[in-house]
Amino acid sequence: MEKPTSNRNDSLDGMRLIAIFLIIFLHVQYDPLDFDGLMHVVRYCARWCVPFFFMLTGLYLKVGPAGLPDISLERLRKSAMIAMVANLLFMPLAIYLGGVGVISLYIIGSGVFFHLWFINSLVFCFVFLISVSPDGVDFRILLIGSVLGVLLVSYIDVLFQLDGNAWRPQFQLVRFLLATPLVVIGFSAPKIAPIVGKSGTILLIVFGLLLMVIEAVVLLEFDIGFGSVQFPIGCFPFSLGLVLCLYRSPEIPGLKHLAGLGRRHALGIYILHPIALLAVKAAINKLGHPAPGEDSLGLIVALIAGPATLAALVVSDRLTPWFNRLLAGDWPPRRVGS
């Protein structure tokens, strides 16, 4: 399997949109709809979305010297611009909700708002990969280190749930570093594909899903607050298998219809969706149900907030396209021929 030459894979782009909506569902609570833990197991099994996006980023990186990922300075500039714009956009809201104390050096790793760590992590990943010397690093060592890295993240994630006060700094650090191993694994996907084959790809998906279900049931049985576990071990093979499967089948009909929206607006939805969640919750609370502070209508909130954010971006694309370009890091506008 050869490296792709563009981002135009309709199956992968359609899955971008589905994954983004699943991330929104991860950011709401729906305890009253628990069904004896079933909803929490379903929620746990949706944790593949973030690794999927990191791997997808790596999949489309060009091959540079010594087979290492080739990160252009323009890609780094664009990613840094996205991180700066997103953090500045949410800074007033973060201060309003948490006070000036939320602004500290920790936002370098975690972002100024809870979801922005993803973008900051990606910027660090690109800086790291640019700094790697082709003469000093064997890519196979980098890949093995990446696999060990994601296992370490899952391990520390569980420890963090067991004792949040003791393990919070370590968890925030490994989460900040997570983009790098996952991007490397995604970059390696075309080399992995011939080794695992089609049957191996399906096995990765099934194995990852079963492992997530088993993890969720075990943690539920021992009453470990697994609702907050962000990176179950099973989400990584599942994400890799999904990337390989969709890359092999670039024009799956159902996903093909979603491809344009996923390609253009997935990043914008990720950046803006917390604002939509807060707005929808406020509107529901104004109506008197649920009581302020409760999330018993969390699923409804997510069902409204996701499409609402997408609709806002589609409208903005027509009326204020500069805003969408700003969110995508396409700023300042480049002159023709530059």
Residue 292 pLDDT more than 50? no
Domains: count for the chain:
1
For 85-153, the DSSP string reads HHHHHHHHHHHHHH-GGG-STTHHHH-SSTTTHHHHHHHHHHHHHHHS-TTT--HHHHHHHHHHHHHHH
Residue 295 pLDDT more than 60? no
| Angstrom distances, CA of residue 213 to CA of 42, 45, 112, 239, 243 | 8, 7, 32, 15, 20
68-90 pLDDT, tens digit each = 888 999 999 999 999 999 999 99
Beta bridge partners of 70: 62
CA end-to-end span of the chain, whole Å? 33
Q: How confident is the model at residue 220 (pLDDT cuts 50, 70, 90)?
A: confident
What per-residue confidence (pLDDT) applies to 38? 75
What per-residue confidence (pLDDT) applies to 338? 45
Residue 336 pLDDT more than 50? no
What per-residue confidence (pLDDT) applies to 308? 97
CA 37 to chain centre: 24
What is residue 11's three-state secondary structure?
A: helix
Looking at per-residue pLDDT, the higher value among 181 and 45 belongs to 181
Residues of the domain holding 319: 10-327
| Angstrom distances, CA of residue 225 to CA of 24, 176, 242 | 20, 22, 27
Cα gap 16→53, rounded to integer Å: 8
Q: What percent of the chain has pLDDT over 90?
A: 57
Which amino acid, one-letter code, is at 207?
F
Among 63-67, 76-80, 134-138, name the most confident range: 76-80
Position 187 in a domain: yes
Position 4 in a domain: no
Q: How confident is the model at residue 227 (pLDDT cuts 50, 70, 90)?
A: low
Position 337 in a domain: no
Residue 156 pLDDT more than 70? yes
Residue 294 pLDDT more than 70? no
Position 3 in a domain: no
Position 258 in a domain: yes
Residues near 248 by beta carbon (within 8 Å), at least 6 away in sequence: 1, 193, 198, 201
- Output DSSP code: residue 5: S
Q: How confident is the model at residue 32 (pLDDT cuts 50, 70, 90)?
A: low
What per-residue confidence (pLDDT) applies to 184? 95
Mean pLDDT is lowest, of 84-98, 155-169, 312-326, for 155-169
Surface-to-core class of residue 195, CB atoms within 10 Å of its CB (0-12 exposed, 13-18 middle, 19+ buried): exposed
Mean pLDDT is lowest, of 31-45, 58-72, 122-136, 252-266, for 31-45
Mean pLDDT is lowest, of 29-33, 236-240, 307-311, for 29-33
Position 222 in a domain: yes
Cα gap 53→22, rounded to integer Å: 12
Nearest residue to 20 via CA among 59, 56, 74:
56
What per-residue confidence (pLDDT) applies to 34? 54
Mean pLDDT is lowest, of 49-53, 151-155, 201-205, for 151-155
Among 49-58, 68-77, 158-167, name the most confident range: 49-58
- Mean pLDDT, the chain, whole residue set: 87
- Asked whether the whole model's pTM tops 0.85, one would answer yes
Looking at per-residue pLDDT, the higher value among 68 and 120 belongs to 120
Position 338 in a domain: no
Position 1 in a domain: no
Residues near 80 by beta carbon (within 8 Å), at least 6 away in sequence: 123, 329
Residues near 269 by beta carbon (within 8 Å), at least 6 away in sequence: 17, 20, 21, 24, 306, 309, 310, 313
